[in-house]
Structure 1
Amino acid sequence: MPINPTLALLTALLLAPLSLHAADLSKRGPLQVEIVEFGDLTDASRIRAAQPRGALRIRQGSSANVRKVPIKVHLPKTDGPFPVVIVSHGAGGDWDTHFAQAQHLASHGYVVLCLEHVGSNRERMTQGFRLMKNLEAMIHDADEVLARPKDVSFAIDRAEEWNRTHERLRGKFDLQRVGVMGHSFGAFTTMVVCGMKPALDWLTPRVEPGKGLGPDLREPRVKCGVSLSPQGVGEPFFFRESFGSLKQPLLGISGTEDRQQNGLTAENRREAFSLWPQGPHQFIWLENAKHLDFTDSTGADRRATPSPTREDVQPLVRAATLLFFNLHLKADTEAAKQLSVDALKAYLRGAVTKVEVLSK
């Protein structure tokens, strides 16, 4: 029976594998992933001491009660070195809050260090079962606000050490290519290590001079960042003037239902992008995306708070995050073309009906 040439061509097109840059980047990559845990790491340069109402305070210069910085490392089961991504969870999270996202990045050729910020983790949030009071306390806690960026620097220090001496991690890290990703309080952390300056006015206890912009906590070894639910202007974190000192390429991702603290609207996050300085920065805006949609602990023993639209949001978040890191940490110029509305439409799912991409 003769073969219909048109039918044969259509069949070949349907069955042919997608090219590398047309692949579904929200899916797991080709590399097998392993995990190494460091649950007892401490930063001897910082100590914590109990304060009234259970607040955790960071103090310098003592040898007791040093600041703990647990780190869970996700990495490919093959020879390195690989670019490094440090993950900072939001208030009330832990080192597994972004478990699925860390696994995704590692499977695409990254070493991912998931931090646990001890002064704003799940344990701190649930103390006394006063969740909202604990949340308000930790996001205004001067010591925790200023300690989180230092946790990132501590993690890079440890990676440098492991790259030289650790039996399983030796030679795995390309520390010339380091990125940071964080959600909510972790988005703030990412923004600060990339150069933005925190506001002092809302911090307790007072940090001199008590008002205006806080210290420069930029980490020069960080080359780029991804902020999920990045903060806009207003309490507790940033002024209009905070954004102008951004130094490294930054991607923000938020959505229309991603309301901010203290009654501020989701639109407040988007509007702040106009205050970011000119540079290789982008902002992705998703219709109907909610605050907790930007985390994904799937696969971890401890699961984060559920959200009904997380599964709709995560494909686009994973793809966009991977593309941004590929562009800035792997010099993948094709990735820049895919960080566009036309390309990202392929990742729209369910409730997420529209994507916008803003660029500087």
Structure 2
Amino acid sequence: MNTAALIAAASVLLGACAATAAPASAPLVQSKAAAPVVRDGVLSMGLTVPDGDHPAIEAGVWVPTEAAADGPYPLIVISHGNGGDFRSHHDTAAALAKAGFVVAALTHTGDNWRDQSRATDLVDRTRQLSVLIDYMTRDWSARDGIDANRIGAFGFSAGGFTVLAAAGGDPDLGRLADHCRDNPGFYDCRLIGEHAGTMKAGAAAPRLPHDARIKALAVAAPALGFTFAKEGLSKVTQPVQLWQAGADQILPAPFYVEPVRDALPTPPEYRRVEGAAHFDFLPPCSPQLAAAAPMICAPTPGFDRAAFHETLNREVVRFFRETL
């Protein structure tokens, strides 16, 4: 399927879905962003993904319009952090699409800015990521434009944990008790305390769902990194690009990135960003978002988030080009 056919197929079906995919009250971007838009060589649109007996999954898709060659294109799926949505990494998604990838990002049901009822349901997070891959490669109207043998994943914070688990990781959730006893004020421990029921159910699961279709993963500031021992990451043999914020105040060193870096069977492409805080992995905020969500938008003293994202996006694009 060539670029024109991919765009046409996507637009016909998804244009009608955009209004239901992003309510006007969404604070992360202006509501018009969910409608099909072509900008700077990228077509973006909202999407609704059926999820069996579960509520439909809200998602977004970014499609290249000016790629150097016709498809099929590699697919990158994106998993956001706690309380985000499918637009949380819109700039990285757009950069990937412009470079010749189809990008699909989901809003995790029960863990987003509107609904925190399942904020610690780790099993369902990984399952939902596979549902998104299923839909994009089997049911999406423009699925012929995707190379199902070249699928990568990008995840931030809780999304970083999600893509590690989906790619074959088996966390030892029994480590949570000691971690939170020693660090009760940490963000993850406070979140677990607020949602102990869903976390307990997840800890009782034999393992989190795996998806062998993920061939490479970019992971930024992964949550619960301390739950991964060498045995738990022994099956994550794909190329990994691992990012750490040097001044991460939400998931501080050495409990999150370092355990993942040291446990992976093949050393990852490791990037420590000195001076960056946790939320600097999110794109620069609009004035509207800064007013609505100061926690994720407050400037980090001495750090240029906009300049960093030029580097982040360039390096994520390069990594997936080299590994998929």
Q: TM-score, normalised by structure 2?
A: 0.69
Alignment gaps of 5+ in structure 1: 1-29, 48-65, 126-133, 330-360
For residues 204 and 301 of structure 1, the distance between their equivalents in structure 2, rounded to whole angstroms, comes to 34
State the match for 1:340 in structure 2: none
CA contact (8 A) 2:65 2:98 kept: no
Provide Cα deviations, 1:122-145, integer angstroms capped at 9, x if missing partner. Answer: 1024xxxxxxxx7xx72xx3xx21
State the match for 1:101 in structure 2: 92
CA contact (8 A) 1:96 1:300 kept: no
CA contact (8 A) 1:260 1:266 kept: no
Q: How many Å apart are 1:217 and its aligned residue?
A: 2.1
State the match for 1:284 in structure 2: 271
Structure 2 vs 1, CA of residues 117 and 225 (structure 1 numbering), >3 Å: closer, same or farther? same
Provide Cα deviations, 1:104-158, integer angstroms capped at 9, x if missing partner. Answer: 1100101000111021101024xxxxxxxx7xx72xx3xx210111111111111
Instruction: Work out whether 1:180 is the aligned partner of 2:153.
Output: yes
Task: Give the SS at the match of 2:135.
Answer: helix
CA contact (8 A) 1:197 1:242 kept: yes
State the match for 1:17 in structure 2: none
Structure 2 vs 1, CA of residues 290 and 312 (structure 1 numbering), >3 Å: closer, same or farther? farther
CA contact (8 A) 2:75 2:103 kept: yes
Identify the range of structure 1 (69-78 vs 193-202) with the bigger mean alpha-carbon deviation.
Answer: 193-202
Q: How many Å apart are 1:195 and its aligned residue?
A: 1.3
Q: How many Å apart are 1:179 and its aligned residue?
A: 0.2
For residues 147 and 235 of structure 2, the distance between their equivalents in structure 1, rounded to whole angstroms, comes to 26
State the match for 1:327 in structure 2: 322
Q: How many Å apart are 1:71 and its aligned residue?
A: 1.6
Provide Cα deviations, 1:202-236, integer angstroms capped at 9, x if missing partner. Answer: 563534884xx9515221111010111124654xx
State the match for 1:73 in structure 2: 61
Instruction: Work out whether 1:146 is the aligned partner of 2:123.
Output: yes
Provide Cα deviations, 1:234-258, integer angstroms capped at 9, x if missing partner. Answer: 4xx5456533332322111012111
State the match for 1:251 in structure 2: 241
For residues 202 and 261 of structure 2, the distance between their equivalents in structure 1, rounded to whole angstroms, comes to 29
For residues 76 and 287 of structure 2, the distance between their equivalents in structure 1, rounded to whole angstroms, comes to 19
Provide Cα deviations, 1:289-312, integer angstroms capped at 9, x if missing partner. Answer: 110111227689977731424224
For residues 120 and 80 of structure 1, the distance between their equivalents in structure 2, rounded to whole angstroms, comes to 33
Structure 2 vs 1, CA of residues 170 and 215 (structure 1 numbering), >3 Å: closer, same or farther? closer
Structure 2 vs 1, CA of residues 281 and 297 (structure 1 numbering), >3 Å: closer, same or farther? same
Structure 2 vs 1, CA of residues 287 and 214 (structure 1 numbering), >3 Å: closer, same or farther? farther
State the match for 1:311 in structure 2: 306
Task: Give the SS at the match of 2:309.
Answer: helix
Which residue of 207, 215, 223 corresponds with 1:223? 215
Note the 1:1-360 alignment, pairs <5 A.
32-39=41-48, 41-44=49-52, 47=53, 66-77=54-65, 79-125=70-116, 138=119, 141=120, 144-162=121-139, 166=141, 169-201=142-174, 202=176, 204-205=197-198, 206-207=200-201, 210=204, 214-231=206-223, 233-234=225-226, 237-238=227-228, 241-261=231-251, 265-279=252-266, 281-296=268-283, 305-308=296-299, 309=303, 310-329=305-324
For residues 149 and 40 of structure 2, the distance between their equivalents in structure 1, rounded to whole angstroms, comes to 22
Which amino acid counterpart does residue 38 of structure 1 have in structure 2? L
Q: Among the aligned pairs, what percent are the same residue?
A: 25
Structure 2 vs 1, CA of residues 209 and 323 (structure 1 numbering), >3 Å: closer, same or farther? closer
Structure 2 vs 1, CA of residues 307 and 175 (structure 1 numbering), >3 Å: closer, same or farther? farther
Larger radius of gyration: 1
Structure 2 vs 1, CA of residues 105 and 233 (structure 1 numbering), >3 Å: closer, same or farther? closer
Task: Tell me the C-alpha RMSD between the 2 structures.
Answer: 2.9
CA contact (8 A) 2:221 2:278 kept: yes
Structure 2 vs 1, CA of residues 156 and 297 (structure 1 numbering), >3 Å: closer, same or farther? farther
Q: How many Å apart are 1:92 and its aligned residue?
A: 0.6
State the match for 1:356 in structure 2: none
State the number of aligned residues.
254
Task: Give the SS at the match of 2:242.
Answer: strand
Which amino acid counterpart does residue 209 of structure 2 have in structure 1? L
CA contact (8 A) 2:285 2:297 kept: no
CA contact (8 A) 1:81 1:174 kept: yes
Which amino acid counterpart does residue 43 of structure 2 have in structure 1? E
Task: Give the SS at the match of 1:204.
Answer: helix
Which amino acid counterpart does residue 124 of structure 1 have in structure 2? D
Structure 2 vs 1, CA of residues 36 and 232 (structure 1 numbering), >3 Å: closer, same or farther? closer
Q: TM-score, normalised by structure 1?
A: 0.63
